[in-house]
Structure 1
Amino acid sequence: AYLSPGVSEHQVLDASYLASLLENSTSSYDYEENESDLNSLPCPQDFSLNFDRAFLPALYSLLFLLGLLGNGAVAAVLLSQRAALSSTDTFLLHLAVADALLVLTLPLWAVDAAIQWIFGSSLCKVAGALFNINFYAGALLLACISFDRYLSIVHATQLYRRGLRAHVALTCIAVWGLCLLFALPDFIFLSASYDQRLNATHCQYNFPQVGRTALRVLQLVAGFLLPLLVMTYCYARILAVLLVSRGQRRFRAMRLVVVVVVAFAVCWTPYHLVVLVDILMDMGALARNCGRESHVDVAKSVTSGMGYMHCCLNPLLYAFVGVKFREQMWMLLMRLGGSDQRGLQRQASSSRRDSSWSETTEASYLGL
């Protein structure tokens, strides 16, 4: 798969090639006449397969629990304040939904890695598409948040002010629509197929080399480079404005801004560097050999896990560091526990006057 967790495409390609080679071979194999075929035999993948079986199920199970709890808490708090949501709050709500939906697919890929795909081709297509839709949505929504804050802090412009919620809705619809378009290959080319060499059924892609390379480039550009460039530019301009301000809030803002960009870069850069190496190998720019293929497969499993961890970090970076969020989370828990409603209403009214916990003015942007 070019992104979805599961069996390495090296393993899939090698298995299909070996099966066809064995079908065309005879019992009396002439080494000299078939030396070129022997040199082109697929590489053994026992090490990377055993690593995936031991590493991926445990990692995906942990990320599933943490991501679902963290993003569920963010969504619950934001929905409880939906009457006073700002533009950034709305983007954060969509981001929490995207991250939660992404981690919901991880148990399926954990089973695929540990045993085989037992859920059929239809769920294979849906799970792969859902995974990639929310992967792209997470990156693009982070870019939308950074642009919204850039306008609010650098230009003192609220393009998505509360009175024009249609702008936010249209932006979110455009993001989800674009992500759905990016995921069309999953609906078309993903299927549950039996692999003779692995002696198991896996959810995997069936398309030519050119299509696989094109999808990887799309993933690299649309899902990483462009959002990272937007975030870097916007937050660099925000930092330039905050550096000329005074007081403790300046340092808190700088800390949060740096953490936001660094977290996205640290979580996803290693994976996309490995993907870039794989693209260069497919294009022939780097020599392909058994050792390198095995290292790339293991590195892809490890670095993709780092990337999925970002879904668990988002609630911490955008919510739990904020005092207002913690206050509203406490109010929500008290409300569910049946505490004094009048006191809660007074606190909620005060919180709304102070502004939302993720409001994009300089003071509330800090959330501290």
Structure 2
Amino acid sequence: MENFASKETVFSVDSGTNMTDLTTIDYSSYYDENFSNFSPCSYAGFKDFGKVFLPTLYGLVFLLGFVGNGLVVCVLVKHRNQTNLTDICLFNLALSDLLFVLTLPFYAHASMINEWVFQDFMCRFLSTCHTIGFFSSIFFMVAMTLDRYVVVMHAVKVARYRTLRAGFALSVVVWLLSFGVSLPAFIFSRVTVEETLRNQCTFSPENKDWEIYNNLAINIMGLLIPSLVMIVCYCRIIPRLVNMRTAKKHRVVKLIISIMVVFFLFWAPYNISLFLKFLQSENKLPNNCKFDGNLRLSVAVTEAIAYTHCCLNPIIYAFVGQKFMKRAMQLLSKWVPWLHFPFARDFSDSSYRKSSVVSRSSDVTSTLIM
């Protein structure tokens, strides 16, 4: 769906008057040397699957991701006078996920009606926003992991460096890096017309080197490096937390394990599917109809599942913390006073202060769980 090199979901429109025939035929092997036993591949079932499954899931991801991340942004803006480095990273993570999910309704519409109707500029613009949102979300998760690491392992040494200015500088660097990595999506995304005379918004680089770059960027910077950073940092953080004298340490350990497991389970299958598709394009894997159809389906399904991770980020990084939950419930109580949020009353300012222990251990765990 996104304008990555291995994108397989096709958004197209039949230029003729008959819109009922949505069968897609692949004649790419017609001119092979040996075509005596050639039979074209039909992807009608895949297209029908995409018309129902993808719009439904993208709609749910958009709704949940917009509400969850929007609430995170509103809470942090309301309490901006109490902002710290962790809050800045969390704010930018929510913005990244919002940028990502705001592109999904357009792709859901294109998948549902089997055509791209938003012209070339919107193709480039949405592809760029989609890719920037993807990379910046992961980069800010890496930044939050490194921040947790230095807080736990070098709390005294780095305390004076964890300033608002450092947070703003880090945010600018991450956004610039995300834009730089996503620049090929802006340059090479365009509306093209396939053999079936249907319009598509595709990633169409001038040479294959950019396709290789795109695939490596997704797998290395989108999965490999973040996974290694999380594993190395959290494997050193957990033993230190276990030795701390704080009642919250077991909760923090569970949170850390959840972050690593959820990230890997949601993104690894998608990255593996993209890598297999890349190997197929390099003739390292079979290119027959059955294998190609299964691989296309795998990319579409794992892609949609991976996108749901942006809905979980607010839960994992924000709502698990008592302080943030209290603020969110208080804000919701003002917005929708006819609804009752007993959880908000449970966290009064006095009870929250009483439950907080002014010590290095509690400072660390409070930073880790907001």
After TM superposition, the score normalised by the length of structure 2 is 0.83
Shift of the alpha carbon at 1:119? 0.6
Q: Deviations over 1:293-315 (max 9, x none)?
A: 11111011110111111000001
Kindly indicate whether residue 121 of structure 2 is the aligned counterpart of residue 119 of structure 1.
no
RMSD: 3.2
- Match in the other structure for 1:187: 186
The count of residues paired between Structure 1 and Structure 2 equals 343
CA-CA distance at 1:291 after TM superposition: 1.3
SS, match of residue 203 in structure 1: strand
2:14 aligned partner? none
The answer to whether 1:361 aligns with 2:363 is yes
CA deviation vs aligned residue, 1:178-215 (integer Å, no higher than 9, x gap): 11111111111111223232x43221122233321221
Q: 1:44 aligns with which of 39, 42, 65?
A: 42
5+ long unaligned stretches in structure 1: 10-14, 26-33, 339-343
User: Which residue matches 2:307?
Assistant: 308
Contact 2:125 2:186 in 1 (8 A): yes
CA deviation after TM superposition for structure 1 residue 330, in Å: 2.5
Aligned counterpart for 1:86 among listed residues 84, 87, 101: 84
* 1:135 alignment counterpart: 134
Q: Matches of 2:101 and 2:5 in 1, distance apart?
A: 14
Question: Counterpart of 1:288 in 2: which secondary structure?
Answer: coil
The amino acid of 1:7's aligned partner reads T
Structure with greater helix share of residues: 1
Alpha carbons 1:4, 1:128 under 8 Å: kept:
no
Structure 1 residue aligned with 2:319? 320
Preserved CA contact (<8 Å) 2:62 2:104: yes
In 2, Cα distance between the equivalents of 1:60 and 1:175?
A: 26
Q: Deviations over 1:340-359 (max 9, x none)?
A: xxxx9xx679979969xxx9
Label 1:135 to 1:206 Cα distance change in 2 as closer, same or farther (>3 A). Answer: same
With over 3 angstroms needed to count, the CA separation of the structure-2 counterparts of 1:252 and 1:164, relative to structure 1, is: closer
- SS for the counterpart of 2:191 is strand
For residues 2-57 of structure 1, the C-alpha deviation after alignment (integer angstroms, 9 at most, x for no partner) is 26977359xxxxx8984896xxx9xxxxxxxx862466776332222222112101
2: CA distance, partners of 1:230 / 1:72 = 27
> Which structure 2 residues correspond to residues 102-113 of structure 1 after superposition, within 5 A?
102-113=100-111
Structure 1 residue 326: deviation in Å? 1.7
Give matches, 1:1-368, under 5 Å: 1-2=3-4, 7=9, 18=27, 36-37=34-35, 43-115=41-113, 116-157=115-156, 159=158, 164-197=163-196, 199-207=197-205, 208-246=207-245, 248-336=247-335, 361-365=363-367, 367=369
> Percent identity between the aligned chains?
30
Q: What SS does the corresponding residue of 2:170 show, helix, strand or coil? A: helix
TM-score (norm 1): 0.83
